[in-house]
Every structure is written in C-alpha cells, then in structure tokens.
Amino acid sequence: MRKHLLIAATAAVVSLPSFANSPYVAVELAGGAYNTSVSEAEDQTIADNLDNAGAIAIKAGSYLNDNVRVYGYLQYNGESELTYIDPFAAEVAKFRLEGYQFGAGTDYVYHLDNSFYLLAGGSLGFYQSELETSVNISGLSIATTTSKNSGLTYGLNAGMGYMFTDHFGMEAGYRFNYYSGNEHKIGNEPLAKFNSSNQGYINATYKF
C-alpha cells in the first residue's frame, strides 16, 4: 500500500499543467490535534492520547500567474503511541497510530508588496490511517489487531509568506482537514472517530 501511495502521489505532481510558468517546491512541518468522538466515555482518554496530528509534507507545483498556484503533495501524518497499564489485571495495552496522504491543491496569493503576501486555498486528497493494538497479560502476548481506514480528505488553509530572495521564502499558517470514514476499531469494537484535524504549519519554499 505504501508503494501505491508513493506512485499515486508522484503521478499527482507530474500531471500538473505543463503551461505553468513558475515551478516551486516546498517542505512543510505541521503540528496540531485531531478532533475525535467516541461512543464509550472510557475510550476518550485513549483517543485524547492518540490525537497528535503532526505531519511532514513535500509539495511540488507551479504558479499559473502572479496570484494562483497549483500543487501536488505527499504527506506523512506522523506516529502516535500510547501504553496503557492496568496493574490490577496485569494487563498492558499498546496503541500505535500512523497515516499517510497525498493529493492536490490550489492557493490564491495576494501580494502586499514585493516580498510579503497572504494566501488562502484548499486541497483534495486520499488518506490511509492505521491503528495497531497489542495486548499483553502477565508478560504474554495475547492479541494484536490492526484497524485500517482510507478515503477522501478535504483541506482548507490560510496563511502568510515572505520571500527573502527571488527564489527562497517561508510560509506559516493554519489548516483544517476533514477525513471521511476515519473510524478506528479494536477488533470489532469501535474505539474512536478521527473526524478532522486542526494544524499550524510552517514551510520553506523555493521558486525556480
């Protein structure tokens, strides 16, 4: 599956319009949290400890004109881990959540002067999310289960940027992502829905 994600992300990047006149690349770091919902109150503590929405992304795209740019992206959504210990039952449960996504987006860029600008845009992508749960009782491995979700993700973002030279700049902003059908289970029992995320991001961008 990871190989398929990489192939699809590469295709999204290289299929950008060939008439674009100013290509650029960016490396982006993001931090934030998922918005979760649970059906059982006791599961909220687990969900809250797995809601880290940190990410690293690579973008490649082009400015179609001075104000509109398009891009493809490949993103690793990071890894969250939790170890839950029940001393009375001598039980240890370990949870590990990670994910990937790829897609395409567009931004409208409003220039305040030759260096400073504001931006707003949206994206559409495909995500994969995986939750692995393992249980040990008295040091013996009892069970390991894996919950996998995939589907569409929609994003909205707003931020600001500054070009230090004609080629190099940095951006910072806020992004909201919605994930369709992202409900994880432990075995057949629902754990939590990771419905959406709120992130702050910063990136370094290079225009060719």
Q: How much is the pLDDT for 110? A: 97
Helix (H/G/I), strand (E/B), else coil: 30: strand
Q: How far apart are CA 78 and CA 30, in angstroms?
A: 10
Q: How much is the pLDDT for 88? A: 73
Q: How much is the pLDDT for 187? A: 83
Q: How much is the pLDDT for 19? A: 40
pLDDT digits over 33-60, tens only?
A: 999 999 888 888 889 999 999 999 999 9
Q: How much is the pLDDT for 14? A: 47
One pLDDT digit (tens) per residue for the chain, 208 residues: 555 544 555 554 444 444 457 999 999 999 999 999 998 888 888 899 999 999 999 999 999 999 999 999 999 998 899 988 877 767 888 999 999 999 999 999 999 999 999 999 999 999 999 999 988 877 676 788 999 999 999 999 999 999 999 999 999 999 999 999 999 998 888 999 999 999 999 999 999 9
Residue 85 CB contacts under 8 Å (≥ 6 apart), including other chains: 91, 92
Angle at 198 between CA 167 and CA 122, to 5 degrees: 55
Q: How much is the pLDDT for 15? A: 47
Angle at 46 between CA 103 and CA 30, to 5 degrees: 35
Q: Contacts by 10-16 with C-beta closer than 8 Å and gap 24+? A: 10/74, 12/72, 12/73, 12/102, 12/103, 12/104, 13/60, 13/61, 13/71, 13/72, 13/74, 14/72, 15/72, 16/60, 16/61, 16/62, 16/70, 16/71, 16/72, 16/104
Kindly report the pTM of this predicted structure: 0.83
3-state secondary structure 96-161: EEEEEEEEEEEEEEEECCCCEEEEEEEEEEEEEEEEEEEEEECCEEEEEEEEEEEEEEEEEEEEEE
pLDDT digits over 111-126, tens only?
A: 999 999 999 999 999 9
Closest CA to 42 of 198, 147, 186, 197: 186
